[in-house]
Structure 1
Amino acid sequence: MKTLLKYTLALFLLASTLISCSSDDNNTTTDELANLTKFKEITNDTHTIELYSPIGSLEQGYNEISIRIKDNITDEYVTNAEVTWTPIMHMAMMNHSCPKSTVEKATPNGTLYEGYIVFQMAQNATEYWDLKVDYTLNGTAYSATSVIDVPASAKRRVNTFTGTDGAKYIVAYAEPHHPKVAINDIVLGVWKMQDMMNFPVVDGYTVKIDPRMPSMGNHSSPNNVDATQKANGGLYEGKLSLTMTGYWKINLQLLNAEATVLKGEAITDTVLESSIFFELEF
């Protein structure tokens, strides 16, 4: 009888431990995916690559993207891969890529890998984007590719233009995700087209910002701070003052390291908008 009781107690403790471990694993996964929604799966013979974003989709402009790689046999998620990605726009007469970051682990022991991609143009009836994900796992190289949906953004979030220096630039809006009537932290990015496949970050420039409300006499707001980098290779950060809800046009000027204006116009009584701008409505 004592032996039976000991055996029963051992089974109970083992079951409790397994339940606890399973619960911890689920909590870890849940925490990793907080504020993220899966919008796509890309598969090959060995793995399923899950794509996540804060809005549960992609759009023209700057996109924060997270991925997880699941083993198709064990259903376990990979935690030790080296990952790169290559977005390609397939046009009628040519193909090109776009600005993108490296892919990094979100946390050292987690399953998420993250970065950003800036789609400077939207898909249309005949032209489309695909995404190739290359990864190395335990010395073995893998790859998977799939078409992805990149619809046009409802408001302007990205500008593509040629500067007065002859270079082609992309300036894209990243944050705030949820603007408020306040002085908001604004984050944006500046990239230069090196060739059709490479768009490196531009370092040491300044993006002047001038928010205006066209429906309210084109009035501006106080205490805006132009966007600059904190470190080479990074995004640009500034302060965006929004004094009321409604539609705002964030007029921009791009200045190089010598403070020469490469694109964009200062707003005056006769110049009501810049040729490069972002749009917000909240």
Structure 2
Amino acid sequence: MKFPKFLVIAMCIVVASCTIEKTDYEAEIATETTEYFEFEEVSNLISGEYAVSIEALNGTLYKGYNEIRVKIFNTQTAERLENSEVTFLPILTDANGNKSSCPHLYNLDYVATEDYYLGYAVFTSESDTTVSWQAYIDFKDGSQSFAINQPITIEEQTNMNLNMTAFTGNDDEQYIIALVSPQSPGVSENDLVAGIYKYNKPEEPAGTFPDLSQYSYSIVQDYTLVLDPRMPEPSMGNHSSPNNQDLTQQSDSLYHGVVNYTMTGNWTLNFILQNENGKIIKGTLVPTDFTPGIEGVKSELFIDILF
């Protein structure tokens, strides 16, 4: 089959044009994302007769959402501590000595089938020379109470599909949205899961450190996270995709929806966060215009991803 000469020339111009537009993104798009399934030890501390171990996926704690498992072992009896009251409090200290925390599950859940205590933490920054993190863990064995703390290292999250954002809402409250999954999305309709959290402003002055009332976060209840995914590159014209579903809260307290990625590349998840009464907490509508050659407009609330 032969093509008219002018058509071949036109096609070459289009291909070359797209290649030029995408040049800045090629290195990013070539980045491979690794999906982790195995929990490994992050840190271990021996205090008296107890060994306390913190585990996470890939043995690493990252900025953003982390599922955390804590195992407590009695070195004298060679037995795991079962069905205890275990608490977990992550504390960040900055270069000026100021202390803060992040969304976390304080009272860990005991998983009897595998003998560990389950929780999560949404770390808001990586560890570096100016920022350090410490995990404060309290537990009981019979009538005895124990309190230990150990430094933990938070690494940069290189998987953009697990990005997070922190912001102040129109209600003057501090919120955090963290992507939980998918780790490695495909060109298809993907189940999109996120955690949404709010800082509980202290009502009283700080007591003895670490005073939980100063570092408390709650899971946002019955909100809606309106979703509008776009490809913001100039060559993509900020186009969207069909069959996306807004994120709503499910029985696991996380927010679940569907995002349809029609091709690999840079995507922006534009959001509008609405409370249980439909009031907008943060976010703006994105124009529906197709804008080839112009970088796409984003909502005031968004998370960039890449796969």
> What TM-score do you get using the length of structure 1 for normalisation?
0.81
Residues in 1 aligned to 2:229 and 2:52: alpha-carbon distance in whole angstroms: 40
What is the rounded CA distance, in whole Å, between the counterparts of 2:59 and 2:306 in structure 1? 20
1:15-70: per-residue Cα shift (whole Å, max 9, x none)? xxxxxxxxxxxxxxxxxxx7212221122112111111123201111111112112
Identify the match of residue 114 of structure 2 among 94, 110, 116.
110
What is the CA–CA distance in structure 2 between the aligned matches of 1:36 and 1:244, rounded to whole Å?
31
Partner of 1:181: 187
- Correspondence 1:224 to 2:244: yes
- What residue in structure 2 maps to residue 121 of structure 1? 125
Identity among equivalent positions (%) equals 33
**Does 2:72 match 1:53?**
no
The corresponding residue for 2:221 is 203
Provide the C-alpha distance between the structure 2 equivalents of 1:109 and 1:249, rounded to a whole number of angstroms.
40
Residue 22 of structure 1 corresponds to which residue in structure 2? Answer: none
Task: Tell me, in whole angstroms, the C-alpha distance in 2 between the residues paired with 1:235 and 1:46.
Answer: 37
User: Within 5 A, what are the aligned runs for 1:49-198?
Assistant: 49-91=52-94, 92-101=96-105, 102-106=107-111, 108-154=112-158, 155=160, 157-195=163-201, 196-198=214-216
Structure 1 position 93, deviation (Å): 4.8
CA distance in 2, matches of 1:94, 1:70: 33
Q: What amino acid sits opposite 2:39 in the alignment?
A: L
Q: Please state how far the C-alpha of 1:135 moved relative to its aligned partner.
A: 0.9
Query: How far does residue 86 in structure 1 lie from its aligned partner after superposition?
Result: 0.6
Residue in 2 that maps onto 1:280: 305
Residue 73 of structure 1, CA deviation: 2.9
Task: Report the counterpart of residue 43 of structure 1 in structure 2.
Answer: 46
Check conservation: 2:60, 2:155, Cα contact below 8 A: no
Structure 1 counterpart of 2:25: none
Do the aligned partners of residues 237 and 72 (structure 1) sit closer, same or farther apart at CA in structure 2, a change above 3 Å counting? same
In structure 2, distance between residues paired with 1:55 and 1:267: 37
TM-score by length of 2: 0.75
Structure 1 runs, 4 residues or longer, greater than 4 Å off: none
In structure 1, the gaps of 5 or more residues are: 1-33
8 Å CA contact retained: 1:79, 1:109: no
Pick which of 244-253 and 165-174 moved more: 244-253
CA RMSD of aligned residues (A): 2.0
| Unmatched runs of 5 consecutive residues or more in structure 2 | 1-36, 202-213
Change (3 A) 1:188 1:199: same
**1:244 correspondence with 2:248:** no
